[in-house]
Amino acid sequence: MIKRLLAGAAAIGAIGGLGFLYYAWYPPIEPVEPPDRGSFSAEQIERGRIVAAEGYCAECHTRTDNGGGPELAGDYKMDTPFGAIYSSNITPDPETGIGNWSEEAFQRAMHLGVSRKGVHLIPAFPFDHFTKMTDQDVSDLYAYLMTRPAVHMTRRPNELPFPLSLRLLQAGWKLLYFTPGVYKPDPRHDALWNRGAYLSEGNAHCGACHTPRDFMGAEKKSAPYDGAVVDNWIAPPLNEHNPTPTTWTEDELFQYLRFGVAPLHGPAGGPMSPVPHRFLSTVPEEDVHAIAHYFADVDHAAEREKHDKAALARAMEQSKIDLVGPTVDPDAKLYQGACAACHYNAAPSPVLGRPDLALNNALWLDEPTNLYQVILHGLTAEEGQTGVAMPSFYNALSDQDMARIAAYLRRTRTTLPPWTDLEKKAAAVRKTITTIPVNSSH
Ligand code: HEC
Ligand code: HEC
Ligand code: HEC
């Protein structure tokens, strides 16, 4: 009996294996002559520019270490929990880029995560989002990329350990986690909402940073937009779990995504900064409105907004305490000396360019990570609100100083329990910084 059962299991295993290979196998698509620039209309290329901006292609496909590299020529280093991955050259160079890819091959890569040669691509390339793009958008994107300057450049090899280095394994990942298919409009919602959902879930892949991942590196479908760690920053929750005391309303979201600063919540720092500045400020305003409209629904802004007035009044009250003159509290003194010259506010609301820390995510998240990142890096004039800057305190404050400021701000500016292990965490964030910021004060 047992033998028969085992034989049955082996047979099923073999069939499963064959089925898997069938599932996993994709033929190469024949190379083509790089298409003639004249074969694309100026209108289509412009539409493709917008699609490329809304998917931040240049962010991941342009090298930033090793002195930087030409736009879209790849070799951008992505640190993942599994090892470093380098992006591909997506300029139309036929040898090292995608110059000899037909549009069919490009459509397949974007929709199914398979290269022209039939090789499975690693989901660090967010094809699990790009699959939702319409064929028309991908076609326009192709026109845009094929008319960029061709750059001859080879990327460094990935540093994934065996067996993760086996491309075939990616097919197993796909079988478990990947749902291919173009976005389907939800008839319960209007056109603006659907446009926002199409962009956010698809091309603009907000969830790639804002949704937590499981041990296999897949976004947790059970916790969409619940917040996640990315590049040693916390990408805060974008749903009703967002902890900031005032709501991310449609207008706050629009200002933040379009201009990089929201009147109440402050600037977009760290890995979020390029999203508005480099990309969403360059696309049609309606698209940014659509994304803001969509997330105001995801975070139930309409129901939560009614508490904002009280929250704002409380924050303004809390921010006043550092202005009332001499204090015996040594932590308050430290804050007054280092921060209060810029971070003070009076009723009725914060001044643009002088974020109210009592309203900023940095104090309300479960960990002080973003607060430490901002203190250590500062914010350049290009990040956040264009033109205003915060110096880096990398040299000026010790880990112990940062821990004291963090504890003080959490205590006086929020209603949440204190953070723990603050000094240890300050040292850990400092360790992630490999080059001392140039705007560092002494
Ligand atoms: C979050 C980072 C990221 C973003 C954003 C991104 N890519 Fe990529 N892309 C990658 C990585 C990493 C690879 C290499 C994957 C691999 O080696 O399997 C890649 C591979 C590709 C490939 C396969 C190229 C080849 O030679 O096999 C294409 C095509 C591509 N990306 C196009 C795009 C386009 C178009 C956009 C914008 C809509 C985009 N990517 C945005 C990270 C990204
Ligand atoms: C590359 C990763 C990345 C991508 C892509 C990304 N975000 Fe972010 N986002 C972050 C990080 C990190 C922060 C924290 C920045 C800070 O505190 O200054 C953030 C902050 C935010 C905030 C402020 C939250 C708060 O409570 O302060 C909003 C709103 C937001 N992102 C919306 C979006 C939307 C909408 C998209 C897609 C259009 C998106 N993000 C795409 C990484 C990302
Ligand atoms: C010289 C003025 C100045 C000083 C001093 C200063 N800041 Fe800032 N800070 C700013 C400005 C300006 C911004 C907004 C920058 C922008 O919009 O690009 C900012 C932004 C911030 C943010 C929001 C970051 C984000 O991504 O949302 C935090 C948190 C912060 N500062 C904390 C501090 C702390 C803590 C100190 C003291 C250690 C401090 N700042 C000292 C000017 C200053």
Q: Provide the pLDDT for residue 323.
A: 63
Element (H or E) spanning 196, and its range?
helix 191-201
Question: Is 277 assigned a ligand-binding role in the annotation?
Answer: no
Tell whether the model's pLDDT for residue 294 goes beyond 80.
yes
CA of 79 to the centre of ligand 3 (A): 27
Residue-wise pLDDT for 209-254, tens only, equals: 999 999 989 999 999 999 999 999 999 999 999 999 999 999 999 9
Q: Provide the pLDDT for residue 348.
A: 83
Which atom, in ligand 2's list, is nearest to the CA of 253? 29
Question: Is 60 assigned a ligand-binding role in the annotation?
Answer: yes
% the chain with pLDDT above 90: 78
253 lines ligand 2 (CB under 6 A): yes
365 lines ligand 2 (CB under 6 A): no
Q: Provide the pLDDT for residue 318.
A: 85
Task: Name beta bridge partners: 120.
Answer: 114
Q: Are 91 and 85 in contact (CB under 8 A)?
A: no
User: How much is the average pLDDT of 355-380?
Assistant: 96
CA of 383 to the centre of ligand 1 (A): 25
Map out the domains of the chain as residue ranges. 2-177, 191-302, 310-431
Tell whether the model's pLDDT for residue 288 goes beyond 80.
yes
Quote the CA–CA distance of 29 and 416 in Å, as a whole number.
Answer: 56
User: How much is the average pLDDT of 91-107?
Assistant: 98
User: Which residue's CA is the closest to the ligand 3 atom numbered 16?
Assistant: 384
Place 271 in a pLDDT band, splitting at 50, 70 and 90: very high
Does domain 310-431 fall into CATH 1.10.760? Answer: yes
Does domain 191-302 fall into CATH 3.40.50? Answer: no
CA of 15 to the centre of ligand 1 (A): 33
Q: Provide the pLDDT for residue 4.
A: 55
User: How much is the average pLDDT of 183-203?
Assistant: 98
User: How much is the average pLDDT of 257-266?
Assistant: 96
Beta strands in 263-319 (DSSP E): 266-267
206 lines ligand 1 (CB under 6 A): no
Find all residues with CB under 8 Å of 69, minimum gap 6, and list them: 62, 63, 75, 76, 153
Left, alpha or beta for 68 (phi > 0: left; psi -120 to 50: alpha)? left
Using alpha carbons only, what angle is made at residue 85 by residues 227 and 205, rounded to the nearest 5 degrees?
35
Q: Provide the pLDDT for residue 188.
A: 98
Looking at all shown ligands, the one closest to residue 242's CA atom is 2
Q: Provide the pLDDT for residue 353.
A: 80
Quote the CA–CA distance of 252 and 261 in Å, as a whole number.
Answer: 9
Q: In the chain, helix, strand, coil percent, each to 5? A: 45, 5, 45
The phi and psi torsions of 47 (rounded to 5 degrees) equal: -60, -40
87 lines ligand 1 (CB under 6 A): yes
Tell whether the model's pLDDT for residue 380 goes beyond 70.
yes
User: How much is the average pLDDT of 342-365?
Assistant: 89
Give the residue from 238, 244, 280 showing the smallest Cα distance to 259. 280
Find all residues with CB under 8 Å of 204, minimum gap 6, and list them: 54, 55, 56, 129, 291
Give, as one character, the DSSP assignment of residue 119: P
User: How much is the average pLDDT of 73-79?
Assistant: 96
Tell whether the model's pLDDT for residue 13 goes beyond 70.
no
191-302 and 310-431 agree in CATH topology: yes
More confident residue, 436 or 40: 40
